[in-house]
Amino acid sequence: MTSTARATALGAAWNYGAQVATVIVQLGYAAVSSRLLGAHAFGQYSVALTVASFVTLLATAGLPQAVSRMPVMEPARLSALLCYAVVIGLIAGGFVLATAGLWASVWQVPGSQSVLRWLAISSFFAPMLALGTGVLLRSGQFRRLAVVTFSSNVTGMAIGLLTIAVPRTSAALVASPIVAQSSSAVAAVVISRASFKGRPRRGDLFHDIFYSFRLTVASLLSFAGGNFGKLALSRSFGAVLVGHWNRAEVLTTVPFYQVQNALVQALYPEFRHDMASRDRAQRVWADLLGLVFWLCVPLASVLAVVLPVAVPLLFGAGWSGVGSLIPVLALYAGVQITVFVLVSALEVLAKFRWIWSGHAVALLVNVAGGLLAIRHHTVAPVLVALLVGSLLMHGFHVALCHRAGLIQVRVLLGHYLGAVVFSAGLAAMALVLVNVPALAVGHPAALGVLLCVVAAALFIMMKSLAKLPVLRLVKKYRVISR
């Protein structure tokens, strides 16, 4: 187990390193582009990107996962999947082109139509990128994938800024994702070309497509739950609010999704060892979920407090509405990583009825939140529904896993409770620090007391740092040296 943990950590480190570097560059890209274009343009772009992501999900869901769980990667099997990816990419791109006007009407954002038509290019390349990524991950080529990911994203953002600076329209925003996705797809397939040299064999292809189809159902439920509220807001408030939501996601859900993506990509092949026996899962899953929760939720709690203050510095004037969306979106993003690590484990074990049921619970909550938002003309129900739906889905999955003997629920709840208490303390300290200027003017005595409390809390925290449960978990599995 320790060697597996170390290898998994190394793979996640390469993936996450590329994602972190991309996020850092992306913040600069977001800061510049947000000053060149207004909220309305980003709202049009966000609607088009959401629709294109939906089509891409239909075209790619399950391809990298099908490769990751293969006991042996056979060239004949992979070459058949490559042919399938090309065909499905053509269908996806054509569908986006043909239905762009319909989607713009559904979202009631007419300007998104021209943006969406350009994104048909990304829809074509998406299945090939998914397959190439799956092959590189399954063969352990984390470093190569990291280099391809980072270089393609940076090139896309550089070209994107040049494109935005000239016409300054929402359609110009598509240059970055199109360049990044197409170049990544071509590079991933070229690097892994030796894996596709066999003559296509149809028998295994149908098996892989069936597995992909079941994952697609889960992905559709997840997508609907995550985006129904945004659709409700678009129809109620228009493109400007959707643009603010898009900028809030750049600071919250997008970086955490990069973490989630890197972690799940590294873990997915390892979960195949739990397919034959529950013993390993019962020993490891509670600690794994606890470790992920400890690493993500405290960071999310601090960002929920700090980022609203940083929005004017990052995006400039005119983006004040972003700050009110950030706290809940940050917490949702931090929790979501743990939720989907467990979902990925259940996918490998083919527990699709469990997965579908959990996503259905989250979808119902988000539909209720969206309908309340439309009725009362407020954003709050959508934000609350995102977080509550995610927590309920995770609780449902944990209960099923406990009943099946896959998770030690007492151990898991202990990890979660400790992380929540620690996160609340960090958030409270961050809240004091970001309000120092205001307190210094109006309540200097109260500020002095609060700063003394924060200093004492930091001192205690530093003295007991080695005893934190998260470090015990890290050392237990020798992810770092003792």
Look at residue 440 and tell me if it is in a domain: no
What does the pLDDT read at residue 149?
Answer: 86
What does the pLDDT read at residue 481?
Answer: 40
Look at residue 450 and tell me if it is in a domain: no
Give 329-340 pLDDT, tens digit per residue: 999 999 999 999
Cβ-contact 414, 289 below 8 angstroms: no
Look at residue 444 and tell me if it is in a domain: no
Burial class (CB in 10 A: 0-12, 13-18, 19+), 194: exposed
What does the pLDDT read at residue 10?
Answer: 59
Give 69-115 pLDDT, tens digit per residue: 677 778 888 888 888 889 889 999 999 999 999 999 999 998 899 99
Look at residue 451 and tell me if it is in a domain: no
- How far apart are the C-alpha atoms of 287 and 345, rounded to whole Å? 14
What does the pLDDT read at residue 480?
Answer: 40
User: What total of structural domains would you count in the chain?
Assistant: 1
**What are residue 443's phi and psi, to 5 degrees?**
-140, 70
Q: Pick from 123, 149, 155, 119: which is nearest to 137 by CA? A: 149
Q: Pick from 104, 95, 375: which is nearest to 242 by CA? A: 104
The helix/strand/coil state of 338 is helix
Look at residue 455 and tell me if it is in a domain: no
Q: What is the pLDDT along the chain (482 residues), one digit of tens a residue?
A: 444 455 555 555 666 677 778 878 888 888 888 888 888 899 999 999 999 988 888 777 667 777 766 777 788 888 888 888 898 899 999 999 999 999 999 999 988 999 999 999 999 999 899 888 888 877 777 788 888 888 998 999 999 988 888 777 888 899 999 999 999 999 988 998 888 887 776 666 777 777 777 878 888 888 888 899 999 999 889 888 999 999 999 999 988 888 887 777 777 767 766 766 778 788 889 988 998 999 899 999 999 999 998 898 888 877 888 999 999 999 999 999 999 999 988 988 889 899 999 999 999 999 999 999 999 999 999 999 999 999 999 999 999 999 998 999 999 999 999 999 889 988 988 888 877 766 665 667 766 776 777 677 666 666 666 666 666 666 665 544 43
Scanning 252-325, the segments in alpha helix (DSSP H) are 253-267, 279-315, 320-323
Cβ-contact 177, 50 below 8 angstroms: no
Cβ-contact 115, 96 below 8 angstroms: no
Q: Which pTM was predicted? A: 0.81
Could you tell me the end-to-end alpha-carbon distance of the chain, in angstroms, rounded to an integer?
16
Range of 149's domain?
2-434
Look at residue 153 and tell me if it is in a domain: yes
Look at residue 453 and tell me if it is in a domain: no
Residue in this structure with the two tokens 């329209």, named with its chain if needed: 169
What does the pLDDT read at residue 43?
Answer: 93
Look at residue 464 and tell me if it is in a domain: no
